[in-house]
Amino acid sequence: MIPYSKLQHKKVLVLGLAKSGVAAAELLHQLGAFVTVNDSKSFDENPQAQGLLKKGITVICGRHPEDLLDEGFELLVKNPGIPYSNPIVSDAIHRGIPVITEVELAYLVSEAPIIGITGTNGKTTTTTLIFEMLNRGSRNPLIAGNIGTVACGVAAEATKENVIVTELSSFQLMGTIEFKPDIAILMNLYDAHLDYHGTFEQYVEAKYAITKNQDEEDWFIYNADQEIVNQLAMKSRAKKVPFSTNGRSEEGISADETAIYWQGEFYLDRASIALPGKHNLENILAAVATCILYGCDKQAIEEVLKTFTGVRHRTQFVREWNGRKIYNDSKATNCLATKVALEAFDQPTVLIAGGLERGHSFEELRLAMNHVKGVVAFGETGKRFIEFAQSCGISETILAENVEDAVPKAASISESGDVILLSPACASWDQYKSFEVRGDLFIEAVMKL
């Protein structure tokens, strides 16, 4: 850890605990700051706050005092999920107090180079691929951010021999000032989190923070197939590496139907890649480009691509059963994610979908349903999804009680050569605590077939 001294004896407020707040408070305390933590959960029911108090950190729990900022704080570190409309956050901005997330702290103290990955879709898969390739290539990677451990906690322990591979959300990036990764990756940009950012333009601006501080010594890997991403790339001062799935290109990394190319030259055959889908091809290109730039051995990259079948709950291959290939995409909690999953397959597909009723239309899926031969639907949206499937001309439709009940029903209307895909297009909270629980129960049911 870099002995960062600029926060010593500074009064810092950490707003919101959870994992990121605890890690930030502990790191700030270690750096010699005078730390106060404020969390809405009462102290008696807040073991994290109790632990921080024992370390000598001031803790205010159970309420957010209106006069809290009168204490003279010089910095506010907020939980990424707390919106900027929060009264304390907006008051801090009005007073000219810098507002950051713990990702900024990670950058300030890290001895290790940082690889940052962001985008609307594909962050987790790309981050995992990079980590696995670098790990296989003995490059000493550490994984952090939305996947793995809190970034500032990882950075505090990392050395110059490591590299930190960090998945970054727009919420985290919006709270950065000096953050400058050695390699930044922007996967794509679609409408998302507008309830937090207000407008798509503000969401895009938050994502651009991943490269805004980069200079000629850094690398920016970006999706050349999206015009809005190209426009952002033009503004970046970093060395640029575009990726494209629309055929061979002389620049950056690209792919056609048969191969992947690096700077226009053949790099590897696509036939050896285990992970299906065009969206995953984008993830693969970004990951391979990163690892090439980082000096990772080609053999290590190829070994990962031959064996990596997906992140858990994200178009994850579960098993082959009587000629059917079965995939778990429980993370698909909206129509866009399910559309992308469906487009990853050409084979006849039995789709398992449904979940929390939010009243949204399923029309976005219509064009992607052309190879769906059957639908098994469950949850609050089950009946409505069946009606939608029938309007798409799908006659094999079954209503199931839950995801566990849906698996044998889907198997009953499938044939050898089919894909059975759980991709709900809905959140899980009507029946399950999380999409992870839903996906785990799906896997258990699949293994019982």
Q: At 11, phi and psi to the nearest 5? A: -85, 120
Cα–Cα distance for residue pair 197/285, rounded to 1 Å: 29
DSSP state of 238: S
**Which residues, 6+ apart, have CB-to-CB distance to 374 below 8 Å?**
350, 351, 394, 396, 397, 398, 410, 413, 414
Tokens 């690892």 sit at which residue?
A: 291
Q: Of 399, 281, 296, 421, whose CA–CA distance to 351 is shortest?
A: 421
What token pair was written down for 26?
A: 């502990």
Bridge partners of 243? 223, 253
Nearest to 99 by CA among 173, 180, 22: 173
Query: Could you please report the per-residue DSSP string of 116-175?
Result: EEE-SSSHHHHHHHHHHHHHHTT--EEEEETSSB-HHHHHHH--TT-EEEEE--HHHHHT
Q: Which residues contribute to the annotated binding site for ATP?
A: 119-125
Structure-block tokens of residue 72? 């003279």
How far is C-alpha 433 from the geometric centre of its chain's CA atoms? Answer: 19
Given a contact cutoff of 8 angstroms between Cβ atoms, the answer to whether 22 and 47 are in contact is no
Structure tokens at 315: 């178009």
DSSP state of 102: H
* Residue numbering of the annotated binding site: 119-125
**At how many degrees (to 10) do helices 278-293 and 123-136 cross?**
40
Question: What is the C-alpha radius of gyration for the chain, rounded to an integer number of angstroms?
Answer: 23
Reference 127, options 317, 314, 268, 370; nearest CA is: 314
CA distances, 129 to each of 221, 271, 281, 397 (Å): 15, 18, 12, 36
Q: What is the distance between the alpha carbons of residues 38 and 50, in angstroms, rounded to a whole number?
A: 12
- CA 37 centroid distance within chain: 27
Rounded Cα–Cα distance for residues 36 and 59 (Å):
6
